Structure 1
Amino acid sequence: MTRGDGADAPYWEGLATGRLMLPRCDGCDRWMWPAGRRCGLCGTIGSHWVERSMAATVFSWTRTWHRFGMTESLELPFTSVVAAVDNCGVRLLGLLEDPDRIDPRIGEALVGRPSHTLVGADQIPTIRWSRIS
């Protein structure tokens, strides 16, 4: 499944095929996230997409204990993390595979894997993060 033809379409297409694709500016080579048509630093219009490994660290996290809309497919409680992708400054949201419900530590190393999450009737490509032991 892709997420349309917006500026971030290659990100969604990459996840759907098991790859993490992130945009870099054609002018200054800065990582551009969220994806856009114009670089916020140098103003260049245009980017190229680069495959990245799904290695990251915990930037922030929260554990959700109560149901809210569009989370019916997730087992409660679930832990969401904002993960800082290694060596590029991009931060991505994903679910932490956390069967023991041990609190993540800021800066803790993570590895991601492509997955899908059921949102309403749609399977959305996602990243599932795990701790590196």
Structure 2
Amino acid sequence: MLNISNSKECILMIVKHIQSEELLTVPEVKEILNKIMEERVAREEELGYELRKAINHADMFAKMDASRSRELVGKLLEMGKMKPEIAIHIADIAPLTRDELRTLYAKERFTLTEEELDAILDLVLEAME
């Protein structure tokens, strides 16, 4: 805890640090948030505004279940020219056209061939079935 004081007031700040960091897809976040919600409901605790909004957002934008999204990310990472961040975005957005997919690669220093784009789209369609 950090104590910052001046002549008129004393402010207490709780200093937090990141213990670990992991990239997650929206469906995985949805699964985690739903577990938290179930635990809080079981303990008869109120869900905070931020938690309710996060759950609503995850419910609205998750396009597949968590296991399929993680499987898709794994398959995408096995391909060449695939960064983990882009694989996560592809699993979150689930692009259905080459143009949608190209937008995710717009800032990259390389471009994908039509065959590579089609292979990625096939994996996305397979995951959404």
Fold conserved between structures, TM > 0.5 = no
Higher relative strand content? 1
TM-score by length of structure 1 reads 0.25
| TM-score of the aligned structures, taking structure 2 as reference length | 0.25
- Give 1 or 2 for the bigger CA radius of gyration: 2
